[in-house]
């Protein structure tokens, strides 16, 4: 049974990837290089990042992870000022919301309905497992550092 009537699993994955890249490019306005996407079924280790869950025509999670200094620099780019330590988790969650919201809009325009959950901040070594597969993309920001985006697929879309 298809996850979305009329849309194949491959089409949904393509829209997830394209929408994520487009959203990141629209929100984080600095030089960025996207590595080729990689599929994995192995657990993912996160030291610092944000997780946003998706429900609707498919179930999954968007995970954005990077060194806290990368989130801090991106916050400085977006707000024009350095983020104090006590604001880092709040900003990281807000960045996750902006990215997940932009992706949801992209998916809705492609006919894929989604709802997003509130952001979950991961700080410390966290192992994510239990998903069927994940699409991972490394993003390099010049003069800032690297960020990894992982789209975890939890339903038949991930087959």
**What mean pLDDT do residues 19-29 have?**
90
Q: Are 157 and 10 in contact (CB under 8 A)?
A: no
pLDDT at residue 145 is higher than 70:
yes
Residue 11, SS3?
helix
Give Cβ neighbours of residue 10 (< 8 Å, ≥ 6 apart). none
Compute the distance between CA of residue 15 and CA of residue 69 in angstroms, rounded to an integer.
30
Q: Which residues of 44-63 are buried (b: 16+ CB within 10 A; e: fewer)?
A: bebebbbbbbbebbbbbbbb
User: Which of these, 62, 48, 53, 49, lies nearest to 17 by C-alpha position?
Assistant: 62
Q: Is the pLDDT of residue 41 over 90?
A: yes
- Residues 128-155 have a mean pLDDT of 92
DSSP assignment of 126-139, as one string?
EEE---SEEEEEEE
Rounded Cα distance between 60 and 57, Å, is 10
Q: What is the CA radius of gyration of the chain?
A: 15
- CA 50 to CA 62: how far, in whole Å? 8
Using 50, 70 and 90 to split pLDDT, how confident is the model at 118?
confident
**Which of the four pLDDT bands, split at 50, 70 and 90, describes residue 121?**
very high
Statement: residue 158 has pLDDT above 50: no
For the chain, the average pLDDT equals 87
Cross-strand pairs, 116: 54
pLDDT of 66 > 70? The answer is yes
What percent of the chain clears pLDDT 70, i.e. is strictly above it? 92
Residue among 16, 49, 79, 26 nearest 148 (CA):
49
113, pLDDT greater than 70: yes
């Amino acid at each position: 049974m298809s996850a979305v009537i009329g849309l194949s699993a491959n089409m949904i994955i393509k829209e997830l990837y394209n929408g994520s890249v487009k959203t990141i490019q629209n929100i984080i306005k600095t030089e960025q290089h996207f590595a080729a996407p990689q599929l994995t079924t192995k657990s993912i280790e996160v030291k610092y990042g944000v997780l946003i869950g998706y429900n609707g025509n498919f179930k999954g999670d968007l995970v954005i992870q990077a060194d806290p200094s990368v989130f801090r620099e991106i916050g400085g780019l977006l707000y024009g000022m350095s983020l104090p330590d006590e604001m880092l988790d709040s900003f990281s969650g807000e960045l996750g919301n902006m990215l997940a919201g932009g992706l949801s809009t992209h998916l809705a325009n492609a006919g894929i309905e989604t709802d997003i959950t509130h952001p979950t901040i991961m700080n410390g070594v966290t192992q994510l497992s239990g998903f069927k597969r994940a699409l991972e993309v490394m993003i390099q920001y010049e003069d800032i550092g690297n960020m990894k985006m992982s789209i975890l697929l939890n339903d038949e879309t991930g087959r």
